[in-house]
Amino acid sequence: MKRVVAAVMSSLPLLAHAANATAPAPAVSAAGSLLQVFIGLVAVLLLIAATAWVAKRFGVTRGGTSSVLQVISSASVGARERVVVVEVGESWLVVGVAPGSVNALMTLPRCEIQSPAAPSLNASFAAGLQHLIEKSPLGDKRRGK
């Protein structure tokens, strides 16, 4: 009796495996898999583009603005070198910036910058347009001459 029970018990895993093997595996289509990968790629690219648009639209910048430190002006003096004026508290630091190094060049007391008055583009454009209208033959017809 023990032998019969042992034989039946040892054959149960084989029977379970045989039951699973009888179900045919679904055929996988290469075109369907390729389409699924392509749709996933397009979705990821659209997500990246949407994130970049939102960041640009709402002005997301790296790092926060500091009330203690502010860049006043910057000028390029070479291919990768710059001179930067930074306001720190009540003084200005003139700093030389190059790849791999930042050197303090000078310390200045804080002063007010008066930017040169740029000519108004709208006013100069309007004056130029008025001059052209007066010179043209159509300008005379509009005024009733």
pLDDT 10s digits, 37-95: 999 999 999 999 999 999 888 876 666 566 778 888 889 888 899 999 999 888 999 99
Q: What is the pLDDT of residue 31?
A: 83
Question: pLDDT at residue 144 above 60?
Answer: no
Structural domain spans, the chain: 69-109
DSSP secondary structure string for all residues of the chain? -HHHHHHHHHHHHHHHHHHHHTSPPPPPPHHHHHHHHHHHHHHHHHHHHHHHHHHHHTT--SS---SSEEEEEEEE-SSS-EEEEEEETTEEEEEEEETTEEEEEEEEE-----PPPPPPHHHHHHHHHHHHHHHSHHHHHHTT-
Question: pLDDT at residue 140 above 70?
Answer: no
Please compute the mean of the pLDDT values over residues 92-117 and round it to a whole number: 84
Q: 77: which residues sit within 8 A by CB, 6+ positions away?
A: 83
Q: What is the pLDDT of residue 45?
A: 97
Question: pLDDT at residue 22 above 70?
Answer: no
What's the whole-model pTM score? 0.38
Confidence of residue 141 (pLDDT cuts 50, 70, 90): low
Question: pLDDT at residue 36 above 90?
Answer: yes
The structure tokens listed for 122 are: 């709208």
Q: What is the pLDDT of residue 95?
A: 94
